[in-house]
Amino acid sequence: MSEILVLVDHVDGDVKKVTLELLTLANRLGDAAAVWVGPGYEGAKDKLAEFGAKKVYQAADEELTSYVVAPKAALLAKLVQDKAPAAVLVAATAEGKEVAGRLAIKIGSGALTDVVDVTDGFVGEHSIFGGGIIAHAKVRTGTPVIAVRPNSVAPEAAPASPAEEQVSVELTAADKAAKVVEKVVEEKGERPDLTEAAIVVSGGRGVGSGENFSIIEALADTLGGAVGASRAATDAGWYPHQFQVGQTGKTVSPQLYIAIGISGAIQHRAGMQTSKTIIAINKDAEAPIFELVDYGVVGDLFQVAPQLTEEISKRK
């Protein structure tokens, strides 16, 4: 079987769940070979092995994480040249898509972004135009570079004993043109990342104020989920912009999505339509969000949501 390179997404050694999803997917298409960039590998190696990394290319040089995106693409380009993998998979996060873009140019390959599945022949499945159309696409030129949407594949444990190989790449001046001088971590508490979370609870216009978002947060915390917001809520300044789910915000695809006080305009649907189970609470029975739901309650969110939080707490 040929190797499939998987760029490990991690923050200082803390491996993101999407990486485990990519390893699972890579092993369906070939043999998963993880590519580690930066420090912290020792703390993460067991997890990569547990989820099926049959090989690990490790580039610990801190220089590779000191510049915006280009060094990661340069390393992957070198590995594509040296190891001739069948494809390269990255997470379709904002940065992952940029890595895919630069890599595609460096190696002269086509790139697919934000696919929700990859099947034989490296055909990528896309959910486009707000989830209204399912399109399949493939790369015609070069080694396929594919960015996969987080939460699209269920990660499966498949213990392996990866061979480790130290790798490096010489960076050009252009690769080092945008220097990261400081990484600023903003406090986000114990909640999971929005795009990675298995459960997302989002609030919209109906929530009415920033203070009222405590209702959304309480439910999310009871479920161990992330908090999202519709554009109406972020535009109103009730919740920070980086939590916006929708056409111009984050795309999420959790196991469970709970939309509270969200009408379900296309702007919002585009960011959550591939969620597996959808629940809505809205006082307007005609709200388009109800077309998507598995279960919906027409009612006052200020009654229904706190009751739901309390009921879940009781059942735990």
Partner 1 sequence: MNIVVCVKQVPDTESPRKLKSDDSTLDRAAADGVINELDEYAIEEALRIKEAQGGEVTVLTMGPGKATESIRKALAMGADKAVHLTDDALAGSDAFQTSYAMQQVLGRTGFDLVILGSESTDARTGMLAAMLAERLGVPQLSLANKVDIDGSAIRIQRQTDYGHDKVEATLPAVVSVVEKINEPRYPSFKGIMAAKKKPVETLGVADAGIDAGQVGLANASTEVVDFAEAPARAQGQIVTDEGDGGVKIAEFLASKKFV
Reference 82, options 26, 195, 165, 206; nearest CA is: 165
Residues 20-59 that bind partner 1 (CB under 8 A): none
* Shortest Å, Cβ 167 to partner 1: 21
Q: Which residues make beta-bridge pairs with 226?
A: 200
- With CB under 8 A as the contact rule, the residue among 112, 148, 160, 207 that binds partner 1 is 112
Report the residue number, 5 or 115, with the smaller CB distance to partner 1: 115
> With CB under 8 A as the contact rule, which of the stretches 22-30, 62-70, 162-170, 208-216 interacts with partner 1?
62-70
3-class state of residue 304 by DSSP: helix
Report the residue number, 168 or 247, with the smaller CB distance to partner 1: 247
Report the residue number, 7 or 73, with the smaller CB distance to partner 1: 73
Q: Does 114 bind partner 1 (CB under 8 A)?
A: yes
- With CB under 8 A as the contact rule, the residue among 166, 209, 214, 242 that binds partner 1 is 242
Q: Are residues 126 and 135 in contact, defined by beta-carbon separation less than 8 angstroms?
A: yes
- Rounded distance, CA 251 to CA 255, Å? 13
Residue 275 main-chain phi, psi, to 5 deg: -60, 145
* Shortest Å, Cβ 121 to partner 1: 9
Could you please report the per-residue DSSP string of 97-128?
HHHHHHHHHHHT--EEEEEEEEETTTEEEEEE
Residue 287 main-chain phi, psi, to 5 deg: -60, 135
The mark string for 118-147 relative to partner 1 (x by CB under 8 A, - otherwise) is -----x---xxxxxxxxxxxxxxxx-----
- Rounded distance, CA 31 to CA 169, Å? 23
Reference 243, options 225, 218, 256, 255; nearest CA is: 225
> Which residues line the annotated binding site?
205, 230-231, 244-248, 261-268, 282
Q: Does 1 bind partner 1 (CB under 8 A)?
A: no
- With CB under 8 A as the contact rule, the residue among 42, 46, 284, 300 that binds partner 1 is 300
Q: Are residues 158 and 51 in contact, defined by beta-carbon separation less than 8 angstroms?
A: yes
Report the residue number, 27 or 267, with the smaller CB distance to partner 1: 267
3-class state of residue 278 by DSSP: strand
- With CB under 8 A as the contact rule, the residue among 39, 40, 101, 288 that binds partner 1 is 101
Residues 187-226 that bind partner 1 (CB under 8 A): 188, 193, 195, 199, 223
Report the residue number, 58 or 273, with the smaller CB distance to partner 1: 273
Question: How many residues touch partner 1 (CB under 8 A)?
Answer: 97
Q: Does 304 bind partner 1 (CB under 8 A)?
A: yes
> Which residues line the annotated binding site for FAD?
205, 230-231, 244-248, 261-268, 282
Q: Does 170 bind partner 1 (CB under 8 A)?
A: no
- With CB under 8 A as the contact rule, the residue among 62, 183, 189, 190 that binds partner 1 is 183
Cβ-based neighbours of 37, under 8 Å, separated by 6 or more:
7, 8, 59, 64, 65, 71, 72, 75
- Rounded distance, CA 32 to CA 53, Å? 5
